[in-house]
Structure 1
Amino acid sequence: MNITSFAQRAFLLMTLLVSPLVWASPQVVPAPPQLAASAYVLMDAATGQVLVGENGDERLPPASLTKLMTAYIATLEIRNGKIGEKDMVTISEHAWRTGGAGSGGSTMFLPVNSQASVDDLLHGIIIQSGNDASIALAEYIAGSEDAFADMMNATAERLGMKNSHFMNATGLPDPQHYSSAHDMAILARAIINEDADHYAIYSQKEFLWNNIKQPNRNLLLWRDKTVDGLKTGHTNEAGYCLVSSAVRDGARMITSVFGTTSEQARAAETQKLLTYGFRFFESRTFYQKGAELAQATVWKGQASQVKAGLAQDLALTMPKGQLEKLQASMTLNPQLIAPIQQGDVIGKVEVKLGDEVVHSADLVALQSVEEAGLFGRLWDSIRLFFFGLFN
């Protein structure tokens, strides 16, 4: 191992995109639209970055947006093999009485003591916003709706939904049942990114069950071909709410709007956010997690080098025309001593726009390096000693 080359590699500079000589003229980004809503956020799906927000972390009643969490947990249980899509679920009296045809709320019209498959119930939750389907599936997964609410809260904590607390699977009013526009956007991003197959249900415009056909209440599915989800909500307390997502030119935006005055208003206000986001912002993933970005020298190890990369994708969202101006510097820790475990922080990446750091991320070891034997450790100790004398 050449000590001089090691010293040269302790600091690496890389240009992410193009030379400043061909920078595009900066685009003027106007002020974001002001929405007639209680709270809202516009989020870039690739990065999770909130581009526009108003009262985004305020705790508000989420109404049937709650069912995004109900459906998310159900799909997790399916993917983990805990339940099957073909499993038949018996509709309890509680599910029928609280969410059935006579309840006055949104329903799948499930008769008491009848059976429906997990797959049908999932469609009934997402497309028809069935309260009965939500309760029935919650009871099937957790034994009771109360126990399912505990699962909802644990999942919210895991996802980083800091302003959410769930008391039921439906969103029916309860003083201790609340969420926020930001939290619902976080949940929508998890639904989109983790399970493309089940996410496709959110784009379906109608669902036929037991000869009863009901439309999806997301009006944007009919108005904007780029919109492919997610969910509406409404109670007198919450107003009209909508969490939506769209893809244009390979970029995806997520909107979360709480507390508008009508079905038409929630669609129109959401459209304002989507138009603004796609018109004035762009995102790009520069490096994917786990990709090798460099090799760092290791002392006193069974291997002399370790691969370095990122624990998470390095993706950024910025006003259009700014991405081309970014530069990134990568530094590796100058003396890495074995043992090194996979995932240990061994350096840092900083992305700058001019002199401003707009993003930083840890470089981590992509593999483990075990400690060398006694002779190897002694030999590297000697080399490190002389390296210190001459550097």
Structure 2
Amino acid sequence: MLKLPKLTRKLVIHLSLCCLAGSLITLPNQINAQVNQLSKTPHFSWSKEQFQNIDPIVMPDNYPNDLLEKFDQELEARSYAVIDEETHHILAQKEGNIPYPIASMSKVISTYLVFKAIKGGRLSMDEEIQAPEEITSVLSDDPELSSTGLVGGVSYSVKDLLHGVIMKSGNDATSVLMWHIYGSEQEGTQAIIDQLKEWGMRDFAFYTVSGLPNSLVPESWRLTGSDKTNENVMSAQDVALMAQYTVEEFPEILEISQKQQYVFKEGTDYEQIFYTTNKLLPGQEYGREGITGLKSGSTDAAGLNFVATGQENGRKIIAVSMGNMMREDGSFSSPYQEIYTLLDALAQYPDLYKNDQLPSNKHLSLADQEALEASIQGSLDQANPNKANKEKSTNNYTNHRDNAITNFFKKIFPF
């Protein structure tokens, strides 16, 4: 009888049962194909129907009914999720794992990659970057787009540009930074895709570094295979995870997002004062003590969105509200008000995070997926060493990523 290490055996049994019971998120073949081929030349398209086979998140039977009723009656957002950072428990959600357009919340991952470049010595906060006219003519000069108002040919510090990304949601500042690091819109977008895949995410699609729809950028900027109908999509639970990984590794971003105002390009002819638009910061319309960030986003398809970071009842949380649309009277539901309502209600249940029956938003990272695959393959080789040695000696060029174990996990994880 084949004997596997205890932990590996448990993982295999658990994953096998999950597959059979359908308790893991299952993806239609076309979604798996899209995400698995993002680094190549995928065919891009998005609609909710594309993700219709994703199993919805189910809250446990012992979840407080009064919370469910309150959220159902008072919240208008298309989707939302509130996450306890330490446990990754989902404290509240609606369609929390269904991908929708995220607009400028995309800038969170771009900011992560900028800080990663700084950490790696490729950039410094004081470094000056000249804004290319190719970018400013498209993104800075269009009054319909959120911008930092960059001027082509003028140099800006990385520090100023980062404040422009977070506080002004500057599409121009985002592209200037990402192009400087990666060389182009396409390469910057590919870097985002690769990073998200490293974190184990798969139900997403990215087309621009800023969150702008493809219809608003030149065709020459678009990823191969994409068209004007495409824009960045991700689920609320994954936006929360993306934000969590960003602020945990680079808390410096919170030094920017907590500011009420900032003087941009101070002491020059290009000086501006940026004011926060985060209505959840202390002193603002829906201000809450402990809120530290983070990022808004809006397009016609996305509606109004916000991902908030902070502390409630002494615990770090991430809250995301997506798809706040226009009402019949022409007004919009507010993601800030929606998040305030969520957090206010959850504050009455300070120990909810302890409920181990709550679903989790954490994914098995790509590195962990590969380590698990190697562990299982090693166990199989150990159990049948003659076969393993024979395969090794007869064909040194065997594709070991095309075998029963790998193919089993391909059905679960996007390798």
Shared fold per TM-score greater than 0.5: yes
Q: SS of the counterpart of 1:137?
A: helix
Equivalent residue runs for 1:2-13 within 5 Å: none
Structure 1 Cα separation of the partners of residues 332 and 296 of structure 2? 9
Structure 2 Cα separation of the partners of residues 195 and 70 of structure 1? 12
How far apart are 1:199 and its partner, in Å? 2.5
Q: Per-residue CA shift, 1:247-271, capped at 9, x if unaligned? A: 1342111111111136761111111
CA contact (8 A) 1:128 1:207 kept: no
Among 234, 244, 258, the alignment partner of 2:322 is 258
CA contact (8 A) 1:122 1:133 kept: yes
How far apart are 1:102 and its partner, in Å? 2.7
How far apart are 1:97 and its partner, in Å? 2.0
Q: If you compute each CA radius of gyration, which structure gives the higher value, 1 or 2?
A: 1
- The answer for the alignment partner of 2:189 in structure 1 is 149
Amino acid in the other structure paired with 2:315: A
Q: SS of the counterpart of 2:309?
A: strand
- The answer for the alignment partner of 1:127 in structure 2 is 167
CA contact (8 A) 1:253 1:277 kept: no
Structure 2 Cα separation of the partners of residues 186 and 215 of structure 1? 27
Structure 2 Cα separation of the partners of residues 319 and 200 of structure 1? 32
Please give the TM-score of this superposition, normalised by the length of structure 1: 0.63
Q: Say if 2:292 is the partner of 1:228.
A: yes
- The answer for the alignment partner of 2:67 in structure 1 is 31
Equivalent residue runs for 1:39-54 within 5 Å: 39-54=79-94
Would the alpha carbon gap of residues 125 and 27 (structure 1) be closer, same or farther in structure 2, given more than 3 Å must change?
A: closer
- The answer for the alignment partner of 2:202 in structure 1 is 162
Amino acid in the other structure paired with 1:245: T
Q: SS of the counterpart of 1:31?
A: helix
Please list every run of 5 or more consecutive structure 1 residues that lacks an aligned counterpart in the other structure: 1-25, 284-316, 323-343, 346-391
Among 128, 153, 159, the alignment partner of 1:88 is 128
Equivalent residue runs for 1:1-391 within 5 Å: 30-32=66-68, 33-34=71-72, 35-174=75-214, 175-209=230-264, 210-221=270-281, 222=284, 223-261=287-325, 265-282=334-351, 317-318=353-354
RMSD across aligned C-alpha pairs, in angstroms?
A: 2.4
Would the alpha carbon gap of residues 40 and 271 (structure 1) be closer, same or farther in structure 2, given more than 3 Å must change?
A: same
How far apart are 1:103 and its partner, in Å? 4.3
How far apart are 1:191 and its partner, in Å? 1.6
- The answer for the alignment partner of 1:381 in structure 2 is none
Structure 1 Cα separation of the partners of residues 253 and 63 of structure 2? 38
- The answer for the alignment partner of 1:384 in structure 2 is none
Structure 2 Cα separation of the partners of residues 66 and 171 of structure 1? 5
How far apart are 1:177 and its partner, in Å? 2.5
Structure 2 Cα separation of the partners of residues 215 and 123 of structure 1? 10
Identity %: 25
Please give the TM-score of this superposition, normalised by the length of structure 2: 0.60
More helix per residue: 2
Amino acid in the other structure paired with 1:225: E
Structure 2 Cα separation of the partners of residues 215 and 101 of structure 1? 21
How far apart are 1:127 and its partner, in Å? 0.9
Structure 1 Cα separation of the partners of residues 278 and 333 of structure 2? 10
The count of residues paired between Structure 1 and Structure 2 equals: 265
- The answer for the alignment partner of 1:4 in structure 2 is none
Structure 2 Cα separation of the partners of residues 140 and 158 of structure 1? 22
Structure 2 Cα separation of the partners of residues 112 and 168 of structure 1? 20
CA contact (8 A) 2:135 2:176 kept: yes
Amino acid in the other structure paired with 1:185: A
Please list every run of 5 or more consecutive structure 2 residues that lacks an aligned counterpart in the other structure: 1-61, 215-229, 265-269, 326-330, 358-374, 377-415
